[in-house]
Chains A and B, each alone.
Chain A
């Protein structure tokens, strides 16, 4: 039994009153709230177990190094990676994608090559490739989504060519909620000889991931969206790919032999973790992933699926509300506009009712434009969201309508 009321008690911030109203937090897609176990774990590390990692000559450092490496093992388990050496800790999904671009991209992409992304990419997985394209001169192709936000498989197949060296694609759109058919996309890409980078920032929050079953080459996600702390992200990469890649940044903790003339680098993942890492954050992230696994990813998914259907039905009942992104099987991200109310005005009024939503272009400006808008409102679910939250949202939207 998935007892969402009990689960909510694990998240102290949800009990907060906002403007005198219950905290109806519907912006988990931007960043999720943290369960107390994560906060406690991080406090505990700072209070009793803190020192630098990989400096091994004393007890505290040995202990925290093993907790840090254990965190890597937890991420490995969360993703079902073959080895923990395939798990690189970064600052965020954004940095993970930038790492692939700067290290793998600069080494393996040439002018004449093609990189294929979708219309639904977050700026992190769009701008990064535009900038590298302008540097290297490869071609950046963009495959379409349909008007309902679903993935256009035909267009993808058409734009996937023998010159495509990389498909960099989101697993789930942070605007449309569409879950992309990775199980079909990845084999097609591989058949053309392309590598696949999955931006799993949203997907990792809502579904169990298995990088071996998916057979993706790289996968990125951010800790703060998976109920962990900010400042920590993950890059998964197949070992042989990571091993062929040059360092991304240089400094301490990533070198093998250093002389004044020359340096040889550590093998992955250390090669990509120059400098003192976000130690406590990595351990906090592992705690968050353990929390999700203890609830059961499949249980989280089914709770959210039920809530998604409920939300779609409830939003559909509001006169003048248009949902943007209605693809079958979509996840718990709901973009919408209400006739006659600017999303910004809507957010002001919802805020007064204790309802947190996000408005704007959601760091996917060309996508919002492609769907026909310059700004949309977005409500998004987390594992702690209830039908009550959705009822409050709907009431608040209906109240907002009386103002205009």
Chain B
């Protein structure tokens, strides 16, 4: 699925219940990280749930694996990874993630005050784009 397809699918969901069920579904379908990978090294410091993010770079393309102990957060991570996965560092820097989340009607989840780790995770993705 591409992010454009996701935005289309989302447009059919009019209640928050359906949206959340969809997000949870995305979370459940995303492969979990094995326990040995859920180390402090890959932990993104969020306040209310734990989020892990592991980058991998080959041929100037960065891919990520992510996970969270909270399922809605994990589903949101799936969306974030759909946005950022398999891009070059300069493509990563060019993404207007706010706009995409606004189109999805999920903008509230990007606010730093939510402390759900998403904001921090996106900062980390951009950081990896800088240093890798």
- Using CB atoms and an 8 Å cutoff, list the residues of chain A in contact with chain B: 19, 342-345, 347-349, 352, 359-360, 374-375, 403-404
Interface of B with A (CB < 8 Å)? 16-17, 20-21, 24, 47-50, 69-73, 115-116
Task: Check B16 against A344 for contact (C-beta < 8 Å).
Answer: no
Other-chain contact of B116, A19, A344, A352 (Cβ < 8 Å): A344
Assess A360 versus B16: contact at CB under 8 Å? Given A342-B70, A403-B24: no
Name B27's closest neighbour in chain A (CB-CB). A345
Which B residues touch A345, using CB under 8 A? Answer: 24, 70-73
Decide yes or no: A375 and B20 within 8 Å by CB, A344-B70, A345-B72 being known contacts. Answer: no
When A and B form their complex, what is the total count of cross-chain residue pairs whose Cβ atoms lie within 8 Å? 42
Q: Which residues of A are found within 8 Å of B73, using beta-carbon distances?
A: 342, 344-345
Q: For A359, what are the chain B residues with a Cβ–Cβ distance below 8 Å?
A: 48
**Known interface pairs A352-B16, A404-B71; A344-B24 also in contact (CB < 8 Å):** no
A403 to B72, alpha carbons, bound, how many Å?
10
B48→A343 contact, CB < 8 A: yes
CA distance in complex: A277, B3 (Å): 53
Residues from chain A with a CB closer than 8 A to the CB of B70 are: 342-345
Contact yes or no, A342 B47, CB < 8 A: no
* Closest 9 A/B residue pairs (Cβ): A342-B70, A344-B49, A344-B70, A344-B48, A345-B72, A360-B48, A345-B70, A352-B16, A359-B48
Q: How far is the CA of A360 from the CA of B116 in the complex (A)?
A: 10
CA of A404 to CA of B116, assembled, Å: 19
A342 CA to B67 CA in the complex, in Å?
Answer: 14
CA distance in complex: A352, B106 (Å) = 12
Q: Cβ of A360: which chain B residues have Cβ within 8 Å of it?
A: 47-48, 115
Q: Which of A343, A344, A352, A374 has the most CB of B within 10 A?
A: A344
**What is the CA–CA distance of A345 and B116 in the complex, to the nearest angstrom?**
10
